[in-house]
Amino acid sequence: MEEKKNIFSQLPGKEKFAPFLEEMNFAEYLELCSKNPEITRTSYKRIYDMIMSHGTRKYSKFKEDVIHYNFFDDLVFGGKKSLFGLDRHLMKLVGFFKSASFDLLILKA
């Protein structure tokens, strides 16, 4: 563990992340997970939750229901860098993260 602390001490901005560095045994970790199950989320689930936290809206295009994910709107630059015309493709991408977050990942060659 000493080696990990040395690597951590060399990172820029380490003061920002110092409160998150904890040492604990497995029993303590299991207790922490039982109190807060979100700790154990996979990266797919974290990304899916991040996208969904911004909300969605539905609309119809060519008699097909389309979901627009507000996460991909450009809120910082007033819409100048938004992703336009990609809603159906983004639906597939978010669907991938959704299925992967529930361990239903299906890869096609």
Residue 98, token pair as written in the block: 């959704």
Measure CA 24 to chain center: 25
- Sign (positive or negative) of CA dihedral 40, 41, 42, 43: negative
Tokens 């007033």 sit at which residue?
78
Q: For the full predicted model, state whether its pTM sits above 0.85.
A: no
pLDDT band at 22, cuts 50/70/90?
confident
The top-scoring range by mean pLDDT among 13-17, 90-94, 104-108 is: 90-94
Give the pLDDT confidence score for residue 109 in this predicted structure.
Answer: 47
**CA-to-CA distance for 58 and 68, rounded, in angstroms?**
6
Cβ–Cβ < 8 Å for 36, 43 = no
pLDDT score at 72: 87
Residue type, 60: S
Percent of the chain with pLDDT over 90: 36
